Amino acid sequence: MNKKWKERLYECWKNKNFMIGLFVLVSLIIIAAFADVIAPYGVNEHGVGGRYEAPSAKCWFGTDALGRDLFSRVIYGSRLALWVAFLGGSIQLVIGVVVGLACGFFGKWVDRILSFLTDLTWCIPGTILALAVVTLIGKGLTNTIIAISLVAWASYARAVRAKTLSLRNMAFVETGKAFGESNAALMVRYILPNVVPSLIVLVSLNLPGTIMSTTTLSFLGLGSQPPSPDWGLAISEGIKSITRAPWLSLYPGIALVYTTFGFNLLGEGLRDLLDPHMKSQ
């Protein structure tokens, strides 16, 4: 391992936000990957204990109205949280990068039209617009993720556009033009690699918002549907019995906070490592 990589690893090790966020992300991936091994019961296994049984040695997080083990359902819910982060982040990234590159590279009427569309999407409250999209395409977790993504790509487009505008007249891009590279090749091979570090930071910072927005729609009954172990749905159902069985909302809520907190710290750590001009004070 050369000196440069050692210095980079040392910087990562010193960055507490990055290390804590990385630990949370790795732990979530491990929990999701080995949910079948970690969870003592099936995700929808009924009659594990009595109805609304308090946390005990048998059922660590207690049971719900159907006697299902809440700990097992929270563990399986981590798979849905990572699915939301992966699918939502991917859709937002693809739309934002395509629109941002086109705006910044071509300029003129292309920039005016797409920038207007981006600003229009940006200024409308995301949850309200997502509610409208879900109403049109139907309920369900995947539809909810798509709805959130269709209204949350604007931040990526604005960032990519700004970066592209600063790069499109650089010498290495002009060299590519001189060699006869196509516009698509110039954007993908010359400009996009220089935008990637900023995109990595932006994705990690935006993922908590995507997870929370999806959870909000599930809480409102428009996202995941029973018997899904989705944390937002679990919190919504637990609220109905909050005085009788507070653990039904407490533990899924803690899992949600743990996940979003970890992604936020990871995003701040990556920002410090990849974008020195935006280092947190």
pLDDT of residue 98: 93
Residue 281 pLDDT greater than 60, yes or no: no
CA distance 261 to 255: 10
Tokens (6 digits) for 115: 């920038």
Chain-wide mean pLDDT for the chain? Answer: 86
* Residue 262 CA from chain centroid, whole number: 11
Specify burial of residue 169 (Cβ count, 10 A radius: 0-12, 13-18, 19+).
exposed
Q: Are 153 and 120 in contact (CB under 8 A)?
A: no
**pLDDT digit string, tens, across residues 39-74:** 999 888 887 888 888 888 888 998 888 889 999 999
**pLDDT digit string, tens, across residues 160-208:** 999 999 888 888 888 888 888 888 888 988 899 888 888 888 888 888 8
Residue 96 pLDDT greater than 70, yes or no: yes
| pTM recorded for the entire structure | 0.85
Residue 124 pLDDT greater than 70, yes or no: yes
CA distance 136 to 140: 12
Residue 10 pLDDT greater than 70, yes or no: no
Closest CA to 163 of 123, 136, 135, 190: 190
Q: Which structural domains are found in the chain, ordered by start?
A: 12-30+69-274 (1.10.3720.10)
User: Span 7-18, mean pLDDT?
Assistant: 77
Residue found by looking up tokens 């906070």 in the block = 257
pLDDT of residue 277: 56
Residue 126 pLDDT greater than 80, yes or no: no
